[in-house]
């Protein structure tokens, strides 16, 4: 608790979800890029990035109150950490948007992880139990309430020690892929990579 309080004071942790905040995630993306350029052969996988948009949150927030919405975001953060590898870095970008840094992952590996997150989310019903407690409604009344998310994926391959590549490009590509995922419907993922991203219908 003391360590977390110190991190929050330092502006590293999102106080609601206790995940890293956007500023810290941006810093760590740059660190991963630099690590890859120093220690990974040119052209080999450095890391991948997932940007995740939680869908259905705004409806819950407006219908059941901010307390319920805040609780849901915190629970989704716990769910997300449990759905990725132990050494992956999970953070909240803000609002209902989250990010995961996958060290050493290829685009295909990141796509498999994204697919697993979506599959697990389809069977995750704990949020209804928690929402029932907060709203006073029965779980049966909330049975039709669904949570979905869209996931954008990008990756970074080592450019070597002399790289001038901007780490922010990795984030902007993942954000564009997220836009493509949202446009295609619920519970979809896309990986940036040219004219036709993975997962495109």
Residues with a known catalytic role:
96
Per-residue CA distances from 53 to 38, 141, 181 (Å): 32, 25, 10
**How many CA atoms are closer than 13 Å to the CA of 138, on its beta-carbon side?**
2
**Rounded (10°) angle between helices 66-83 and 57-64:** 150
In the chain, DSSP assigns E strands to 45-55, 89-94, 97-103, 148-157, 189-191
Per-residue CA distances from 70 to 19, 58, 65, 150 (Å): 13, 11, 9, 19
């Amino acid at each position: 608790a003391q360590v977390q309080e110190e991190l929050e004071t330092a502006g590293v942790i999102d106080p609601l979800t206790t995940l890293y905040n956007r500023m810290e995630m941006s810093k760590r993306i740059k660190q991963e890029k630099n690590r890859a350029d120093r220690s990974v052969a040119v052209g080999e996988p450095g890391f991948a990035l997932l940007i995740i948009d939680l869908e259905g949150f705004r409806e819950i927030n407006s219908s059941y109150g901010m307390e319920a919405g805040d609780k849901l975001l915190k629970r989704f953060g716990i769910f997300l950490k449990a759905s990725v590898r132990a050494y992956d870095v999970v953070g909240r970008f803000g609002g209902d948007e989250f990010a995961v840094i996958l060290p050493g992952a290829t685009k295909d590996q990141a796509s498999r992880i994204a697919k697993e997150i979506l599959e697990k989310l389809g069977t995750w019903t704990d949020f209804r139990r928690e929402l029932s407690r907060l709203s006073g409604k029965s779980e049966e009344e909330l049975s039709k309430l669904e949570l979905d998310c869209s996931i954008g994926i990008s990756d970074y391959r080592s450019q070597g020690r002399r790289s001038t590549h901007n780490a922010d490009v990795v984030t902007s590509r993942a954000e564009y892929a997220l836009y493509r995922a949202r446009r295609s419907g619920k519970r979809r993922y896309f990986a940036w990579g040219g004219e036709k991203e993975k997962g495109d219908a």
